Amino acid sequence: MLAEKRILLIIGGGIAAYKALDLIRRLRERGARVVPVLTKAGEEFVTPLTVSALAGEKVYRDLFDLTDEAEMGHIQLSRAADLVVVAPATANLMAKMAGGHADDLASTLLMATDKRVLIAPAMNVRMWEHPATRRNLATLAGDGVLVVGPEAGAMACGEFGPGRMSEVPQIIAAIEAALGAGPLAGRHVLVTSGPTHEPIDPVRYIANRSSGAQGTALAAALRDLGARVTFVTGPATVPPPGGVRVVRVETADEMLEAVKAALPAEAAVFAAAVADWKVENASGQKIKKTAEQAVPTLAFGENPDILASVSKMEAGRPRLVVGFAAETEAVEANATAKRARKGCDWIVANDVSPGTGIMGGSENAVTLITAEGAEAWPRLSKDETARRLAARIAAALG
Ligand code: CTP
């Protein structure tokens, strides 16, 4: 809940400004007080009257509005809030923030505030992917600015890709997390992610096609619900999320050590695609082609089963242990058997047959196996799958 929380909401000039209107309503429903600031460009998309009527507050628009300066100076306005939210955050607003400009009320408030700032970017996909925006985003992340979204999807301009502002429930979840008010506030959750690399020699290794996308999305979704997340990741292709503790490992053995070191946790989710085998006769030196023996023989040994060993811990077992199952046939039957064999509470099963495009792709179609049975979820983006799973985990932890 956001009762008693005061949010300074800066509405930038983008078509997504219409979502800011619903955001105001939903925040007020949760008991928050929303003090709105509308940029000049924002006024082209939503009217000051609508914003102020929905917020039940005066809408602040101009830096040189003397009445306001008498009522409340811009410094005070920026600091009286518990959180500053920028939605939509346009490419231009992000550039101003990154550059430290203060040439209108919104940018001045952002410079003057001593509170955390959360931005919900919204722009055309080319603008989002432009190197200047990438640079600005990195600068803002370095300054401690929190970011929610953007999402990939069809855009108002007719193009498709990342740049669409997050939906209101996601922005609210990010606001709650920023204010430490989410359902998982203060809870420690462990997530493993990515592939492992099992060395053959110092330059070669055995790996798998896992990108780490699902584990990364899950860690972000748990963080957004307020959890303190430890993210143990193999060498994934997608970058780890911000705002979580990242522990990088390479091999299954290292992953097990990192997991043990990170416990205790209230819940542990094992999304990593851990190699089942390691090369037992891995060479300390690069294996050379020789005339006598051109083709080396690798001897495989079994890797520790991290999920099973945590599930079967006698003391200090997380209250909820969730495994993943990558299957290519009889998904439900295999995953149900795997849940029993590994001793975990839930299994999130997915079909990784090449035709599905799931492994390494951006979507997932999972079946959740619990003690109560199997639940087939629709095909969803990995982000949405992660949010639903995070919400279930929050509900299960109570
Ligand atoms: N897992 C693990 N440690 C391992 C292997 C797997 O922690 N050494 C975890 C994965 O993170 C995942 C679950 O176990 O949560 C299932 O992994 P999967 O590879 O699908 O199952 P396997 O145990 O390899 O079973 P099989 O080879 O029969 O599919």
Q: What tens digit of pLDDT does each residue of 228-258 get?
A: 999 999 999 998 987 789 999 999 999 999 9
Protein residues with CB under 6 Å of any ligand 1 atom: 192, 252, 270, 272, 274, 276, 303, 305-307, 323-326
Judge if 172 and 309 occupy the same domain.
no
In a domain, 312, yes or no: yes
Boundary of a domain, candidates 156, 178, 200: 178
Question: Which is the closest atom of ligand 1 to the Cα of 306?
Answer: 7
Whether 278 and 198 have beta carbons less than 8 Å apart is answered as yes
Interval between CA 306 and ligand 1 midpoint (Å): 8
Question: Which is the closest atom of ligand 1 to the Cα of 322?
Answer: 15
Ligand 1 atom 21 nearest Cα: 325
Catalytic choice (53, 141, 157, 376): 157
In a domain, 37, yes or no: yes
Closest CA to 143 of 58, 75, 84, 207: 84
More confident residue, 157 or 300: 300
Interval between CA 271 and ligand 1 midpoint (Å): 9
* Main-chain dihedrals φ then ψ at residue 223, nearest 5 degrees: -60, -45
Interval between CA 115 and ligand 1 midpoint (Å): 43
Judge if 174 and 192 occupy the same domain.
no
User: Which of 33-47, 119-133, 280-294, 296-310 has the lowest average pLDDT?
Assistant: 280-294
pLDDT at 98 over 80: yes
Mean pLDDT confidence for 151-167: 84
- Any idea what the Cα angle at residue 229 is, between residues 228 and 235, rounded to 5°? 160
Task: Indicate the number of domains in the chain.
Answer: 2
| pLDDT, tens digit (0-9, with 9 covering 90-100), for 38-47 | 999 999 999 9
Closest CA to 118 of 171, 49, 196, 55: 171
Judge if 226 and 324 occupy the same domain.
yes
In a domain, 198, yes or no: yes
Neighbour tally for 153: CB within 10 Å: 13
What pLDDT is stored for residue 289 in this prediction? 86
307, 321, 329, 350: residue to mutate for ligand 1 pocket, most atoms within 8 A of CB: 307
Residues 6+ apart with CB under 8 A from 17: 11, 42, 45, 46, 88
Residue 157 among the catalytic residues: yes
pLDDT at 181 over 90: no
d(CA 38, CA 394): 35
Judge if 236 and 368 occupy the same domain.
yes
**Is it true that the peptide bond before 264 is cis, omega within 30 degrees of 0?**
yes
Judge if 152 and 196 occupy the same domain.
no
pLDDT at 168 over 90: yes
- The answer to pTM > 0.85 is no
Boundary of a domain, candidates 159, 178, 197: 178
d(CA 213, CA 198): 20
Interval between CA 230 and ligand 1 midpoint (Å): 20
Judge if 158 and 209 occupy the same domain.
no
Mean pLDDT confidence for 333-344: 97
In a domain, 170, yes or no: yes
In a domain, 364, yes or no: yes
Closest CA to 146 of 169, 125, 129, 121: 121
At 201, which CATH number?
Answer: 3.40.50.10300
Question: Residue 26: which pLDDT band, with cuts at 50, 70 and 90?
Answer: very high
Ligand 1 atom 16 nearest Cα: 325
Judge if 236 and 355 occupy the same domain.
yes
Judge if 215 and 148 occupy the same domain.
no
In a domain, 183, yes or no: no
Judge if 163 and 216 occupy the same domain.
no
**Residue-number span of the structural domain to which 302 is assigned:** 188-397
Question: Which is the closest atom of ligand 1 to the Cα of 308?
Answer: 7
Looking at the chain, the whole-number percentage of residues with pLDDT higher than 90 is 75
Boundary of a domain, candidates 178, 201, 218: 178
Judge if 229 and 150 occupy the same domain.
no
Interval between CA 87 and ligand 1 midpoint (Å): 41
| pLDDT, tens digit (0-9, with 9 covering 90-100), for 64-75 | 664 655 556 778
Mean pLDDT confidence for 268-280: 97
Q: Residue 300 has which token pair?
A: 């495989």
In a domain, 57, yes or no: yes
In a domain, 248, yes or no: yes
Judge if 165 and 100 occupy the same domain.
yes
Judge if 96 and 243 occupy the same domain.
no
| pLDDT, tens digit (0-9, with 9 covering 90-100), for 196-217 | 999 999 999 999 989 999 999 9
Question: Which is the closest atom of ligand 1 to the Cα of 309?
Answer: 7
At 43, which CATH number?
Answer: 3.40.50.1950
Among the residues of the chain, which ranges form H helices? 17-29, 48-55, 66-71, 74-79, 91-99, 105-112, 125-129, 131-142, 168-178, 213-224, 252-262, 306-311, 331-342, 382-397
Looking at the chain, the whole-number percentage of residues with pLDDT higher than 70 is 97
Q: Residue 30 has which token pair?
A: 């949760």
Whether 397 and 228 have beta carbons less than 8 Å apart is answered as no
Question: 387-392 long-range contacts, Cβ below 8 Å, gap at least 24?
Answer: 387/170, 387/173, 387/221, 387/224, 389/218, 389/221, 389/269, 389/322, 389/348, 390/184, 390/218, 390/221, 390/222, 390/224, 390/225, 391/225, 392/368
